[in-house]
Each structure stands twice: as C-alpha cells, then as structure tokens.
Amino acid sequence: MEKYWNHNTAFHEELVENAKVRGGRVLDIGCGDGLLLQRLAPFAQQVIGIDPDTKVIERAQMRFAATSNVSLVNGDFLAMPVPSQEERYSTVICVATLHHMELRSALLKMRQVLAPGGRLLIVGIAADKSIMDFVISGLLVLPIRVMDRLHGGMQDPSVRIADPKESLIEIRQAAHEVLPGAIIRRRFYYRYLISWDKPMVNQ
Ligand SMILES: C[S@@+](CC[C@H](N)C(=O)[O-])C[C@H]1O[C@@H](n2cnc3c(N)ncnc32)[C@H](O)[C@@H]1O
C-alpha cells in the first residue's frame, strides 16, 4: 500500500530508529492508515495501532493483510483498558494526535500504558499564542515551503484533523507535571517532540 510524505511522516524514520533500540511491544496512538505501524513492524515483537476512525482502520487493515505482528484497535485511546504489567508497551508513540484528546488525561494514560523503562515519544502540534510562537512559525514558513517542494509536496492521507488548543508553554507545563523529567523541544514542520523515559520503579 501507498507510502507518502507530509509533516508527520517526516518524523517516521527518527521514531522507528528510536523504537528499534527497545523492540518489544510498540503502541501507536492515533495510527491513522497505519503507515508508521508498517515501518515499525520489522523492528518490534508486536505493534498495536489504535484509532477511533473506522474508515482509516479499514485502510490500515488492508496494509497488514500479510503481517502477523500488527494489531489494530478501532477505538478511543482514553477508553482503552490499561494492559497488565506484562503487556505494557516498551515504546508508546503518538504523532499529531495528542491535540485531539484532553491533554492531561491523555498524558496520564500514556504514562500508565508504558512499561517501566519504556519510552514515550510524542510528535505534536501546538497553538500559536505568544508573540514568540508567531515569530517562530513565521520564520519557518519559507524553509518549510522549500522542504515541501524538495519532497514533491505534502500528501494528505485523509485522516481526521483538529486545531490545536494548547500552546507549547501550556503543553510543557502539563508534561512536566505528568511526566517529570520529560524532554520537550520545538521541531521543524511546526511540530514539537516530547520524549519521556518511564523510571524502572513502577509508577
Ligand atoms: C492528524 S491525524 C494523525 C494520524 C497519524 N498519526 C499520522 O501521523 O498521519 C490524528 C488521528 O488521531 C485520531 N484520533 C482522534 N482522537 C483519538 C483518540 N481519542 N484516540 C486515538 N486516536 C484518536 C484520528 O482519528 C486521526 O486518525
């Protein structure tokens, strides 16, 4: 099935490289049509994608007709039962989906489903609220247009989209409360990346 490029898939290689180190069970929250799951599958024991959009889950199912270590859940991550200790995830990934959910509830649930010693990786989109936010986004317009051109333009996989509600400052504050020690950085393509390692002592 099709592979494509856009401001979310631009992070796939980095996410796969990161998840590869731990292997094990990987969860992709808001998996859309499953392109990231497809890229993760060769490097993980099992990959699980969850998305409440039935149409994209059906498209993802077509992608995995011949792949045995991929499972798809058509549902809301916030309503997903917390797995048993043994079934918690070594890597939890969430690309362009955090802003579709209530921020603190989603971060808390991500923390719960992650295995001790596991890593949470969130590529997110924040709302521009401060002057600094607008200046940074403004400065990025031209270089991002150049990169879009170099990649032959952005391709839209027809997934649900939503406007971000929280600014990066608000996201940072919530992340520091729920995920102490999280590393949060602005990234190219109007994105930020949160990386958090769950301590080995169970939380
Ligand atoms: C902008 S798309 C991103 C899809 C994919 N991660 C990507 O990078 O192309 C956001 C996705 O989040 C999904 N989503 C929205 N609310 C969700 C929830 N509560 N739990 C899991 N996924 C959710 C949407 O259905 C949609 O597929």
State the closest ligand 1 atom to the C-alpha of 161, by its place in the atom list counted from 1. 1
- Considering the entire predicted model, what is its pTM? 0.96
pLDDT of residue 192: 98
Instruction: Provide the percentage of residues in the chain whose pLDDT is more than 70.
Output: 99
Helix (H, G, I), strand (E, B) or coil at 154: coil
Tell me the C-alpha distance between 150 and 59, whole Å.
28
Residue 54: is its pLDDT beyond 60? yes
State the closest ligand 1 atom to the C-alpha of 94, by its place in the atom list counted from 1. 6
**Residue 101 DSSP code:** S
Please, which pLDDT band fits residue 78 given cuts at 50, 70 and 90?
A: very high
Closest Cα to atom 14, ligand 1: which residue?
30
Count Cβ neighbours within 10 Å for each residue of 96-128 and write b for 16 or more, e otherwise: bbbbbbebeebbebbbebbbeebbbbbbbbbeb
152-172: pLDDT as tens digits: 988 888 888 999 999 999 999
State the closest ligand 1 atom to the C-alpha of 30, by its place in the atom list counted from 1. 22
Closest Cα to atom 1, ligand 1: which residue?
161
179-192: pLDDT as tens digits: 999 999 999 999 99
Edge-to-edge strand ranges of the sheet holding 25-29: 70-74, 46-51, 25-29, 89-95, 114-124, 191-197, 183-187
Residue 84: phi, psi to the nearest 5? -60, 165
2-50: pLDDT as tens digits: 889 999 999 999 999 999 999 999 999 999 999 999 999 999 999 999 9
